[in-house]
A and B are shown apart, each in its own frame.
Chain A
Amino acid sequence: MARRACLGLTVILLFMIGTLPILSMLMKSVVVDGHLSLASYGGLLVSSHQWILMGHSMILSSLVTALTTAIGVPLGILLGKTDLPFRRFFRVLFVVPLLIPPYIIAVSWLDLLGSEGLLAQLLGTAVIRATAPMLFGLPGCVIVLFSVFLPIPMLLTMVFLRTINPRLEEAGRLVSGWRGVMQEITIPLILPGVLLSAMLVFLLSFGEFSVPNFLRYDVFPVESFTQFSAFYNFKAATAAAVPLAAITMVLLLVEGVFLRDRTYQLRPSPGLDGQALIGLGARRRGLLLLVAIIGLVVVFVPVVVLVIQSAGLTAYVEALSRAGDSLLRSLIYAVIGASLLTVLGFFTGYLIQTKAFRFWRSVDSMTIFLFALPSTVIGIGLITLWNTPWTNFIYSTPWIIIFGYLAKYTALTSRISVTQFAQIPPSMEEAAQIAGARWFRRMVFIVAPLARRGLLAGWLVGYIFSLRDTGITMLVYPAGHETLPIRIFTLMANGSPELIAALCMVMIAATLLPPGVLWMVSDMRKKAVIG
């Protein structure tokens, strides 16, 4: 009874916070003067502009997906399967861009290659003419999104490599070298991971708003935002979001058919400890140099440019005096958002893993669908639903921002929970049940402690994504409650580059704070155990 009530409440919450705003927005978009009308959608198919936008979105997402997969998968193999020197360092280094909001990477590249950028200052204005066209438009968007999403195929490749039973590869090694084993055994086994990462990168690039908007490349999320923000047209904004929703649905169907069962079984192989590494031999140095160059371009350069641009105490003093309150708010909202996301993700993940309701698959799809939808669409949906005198206690308070986080990012924490639950033998909970422990007690004393690593990972992911959110927050934040990313965006209009760079550095520090603390605590505990 408690189980059904708790999981039922979870579903109701998800529906109220995530699905209802979207449905409400769709309803309003098809009602004109009290009558049903598809007028807002009329222009979708006939307007050549819509097809151009679709083409732009598809080209951008495809290029980013192809590039990240082509480089991320070999990188994952190099860092997860070979004896490449400094591979632990590189694993950490390459994850950094995923932790930094994408538009900050874009700001950094602008600081380097833009008309007022460091290169222009060093090499003269002639360089501007060569670099500026590279940065703005498609090439700039591809470069920035590639560097942000590169860790996804890299990490998933490494995770899937760990799920391979070493005995399979050992058997292969009896009749073939590593090249043959990789071709015939390892790569086919990690292929679902590669496909999953490609799908994730495609969806994230397809729904990305901040980078194409900043680098002036017209794609569907920007069109949806512009329809709302520049032309104050709710209905057109909703209509502009429909192709995004349709593509998302198609990819979810593909995932459902080919990948779903596989992604739930991400448990390290039992024989993992004995997993053999591929010896790179004479190619070690060359590959090390190659990986170092990629790290230099993708991670080191953007961060160093921001450090140089913001050099000097003055910029940081001004940044903190102008945005100290926003920083504090960001931290508070991100902590609250991450905590609620962890709880909601825990119960949603449990519901999905145990197939507690017949419609468990719909709940899973709903969270993924919301995650893949552009933030602007969710933001508009939240305004449409909650902006009434009766719901002011939500709309005019920071709760509306938290609702946005929950709507958008529950998929992340629920998927992490599902993966974690898959590693807990059902017999543990069953044994407690036989001993008379009620469901809630089993959750608190058996399942949650066993899933604590997943809960912690979920909290961190929830924190990072809540902290960096711009799309939803920008549309719904109540007066006086702007977060640091919003403050950065509003100060970009005529704010000095030094100030913006300093604010970006503060943002990076705030993002890395909890993972850094966690890493330090974990390191200290390890040393204590060894000692």
Chain B
Amino acid sequence: MEALEATPLKKVIVSLAALGVLIGGLLTWHYTQAPNNTRIVVVYVSEDQVFSEPILRDFEKETGIEVTAVYDTEEAKSTGAMNRLIAEKDNPQADVYWANEPIRAEVLKQKGISAPYVSPLAQDIPPVFKDPDGYWTGFSARARVLVVNKGLTERPGSILAYTDPHWKGRSVIANPLFGTTTAEIAALFTIWGNDQASDFMAAIKANRVAISTSNGESADFVAAGQYDFSLVDSDDAVNRMRQGKPVTMVYPDQAENGIGSFIVPNAVVLIKGGPHPRAARSLIDYLLSRETERKLAFADCAQIPLHPGVRTPSELKPISAIKIMRVDYADVARKMVELQPFLKAWMGL
């Protein structure tokens, strides 16, 4: 009796288990076959997904190449994707890395994770924004600017305002352990030298600068009138201006003898040993095109095109009209690693 009742149920259980194994096996086979597919490209992205995803979708539409992506989160301070690239060095999963600044691209080059590729579409991008050996190419940049509360009668015009007693306790800066603030401080160390830059950092601390968690928060503080100015990325400033907040944007140190504004281009990198090299080159060409730069200029991220002659929105100056800080991004990358203990100590950690 028991055997009679049991048999159908047993069959069902065995069938379900077999079906499960079959589906699992097929899915695994499907996913592991993906590397052999030339119509796929895998990209790790540090640029905000809100801005990067539409560009990647347009690439899919125009080329028919499917893009699969890993996006960084704000919480990973935009370095999670790069970490995965480092962790996967011996077993690369990605073909392309879209960095939101060139320092990480330099770190990848120094760690032997990237491969050279000189895109024909990047010929007229200024050499200062490209790796001379082709390991990364810059496009669509942010400038480091001062966001200033509109209610002020007098406006700071230099980053040295941070050390000016006139602005004591009235300025804010994002945590220098992360992001573009770290990069800019490292850039200052490369152009001023260790002594002058250390003195500058000590002076801004003595001038009671406030520390925020991000450039966005700094811009919000200035917009709310809690502080008078802050060094932020141009997209943070433009974003608040477009929202109608009482702030304006000042490109710092534009005088003839000024050091200029630190420029932070996006950077695209070909990954060494990536599974889809041909599709990867297609994507890199697409990202470096004038059309992509135009789209990113008019998106909410308001990035400055590096190709000459690409239209920009009214809030932005074209790159040719900005006095830029002349730095070697490779030196900046090396300095950033060196500076970590100094910056931690500066933060009191």
Contact = CB atoms under 8 A, between A and B. Distances in A.
A347 interface: no
Given A388-B91, A398-B31, A445-B6, A228 B72 contact: no
B83, B90, B239, B301 pick with most chain A CB within 10 angstroms: B83
Given A387-B87, A387-B88, A396-B31, A229 B300 contact: no
A489 B9 CA distance: 44
Contacts of A383: 84, 87
A258 B48 CA distance: 49
Interface string B49-79: 1110100000000000000111111111101
B279 interface: no
B44 A229 contact: no
B49 A493 contact: yes
Interface in B79-131: 79-80, 82-84, 86-88, 90-91, 93-94
Interface string B287-327: 00000000000001100000000000000000000000000
A229 B31 contact: no
Contacts of B50: 491, 493-495
A493 B224 CA distance: 20
A498 to B, nearest CB: 13
Nearest to A49: B349
A389 B91 contact: yes
B77 A226 contact: yes
* Prevailing SS type, chain A contact patch: helix
Interface size class of B (residues with CB under 8 A): 35 or more
Interface in B203-256: 213, 220, 224, 226, 239
B77 A229 contact: yes
Contact of B80 (A387, A445, A474): A474
Nearest to B29: A393
Contacts of A444: 9-10, 13
A493 B68 contact: no
B257 interface: no
A479 B94 contact: yes
Nearest to A437: B2
B26 to A, nearest CB: 11
Contact of A115 (B2, B220, B239): B220
Interface in A492-525: 492-495
A493 B74 contact: yes
A232 interface: yes
B147 interface: no
Interface in A87-133: 115, 125, 128-129
Contacts of A395: 91, 93
A482 B84 CA distance: 15
A490 B224 CA distance: 26
Which 4 pairs between the two chains have the least Cβ-Cβ distance? A480-B68, A397-B31, A229-B76, A493-B74
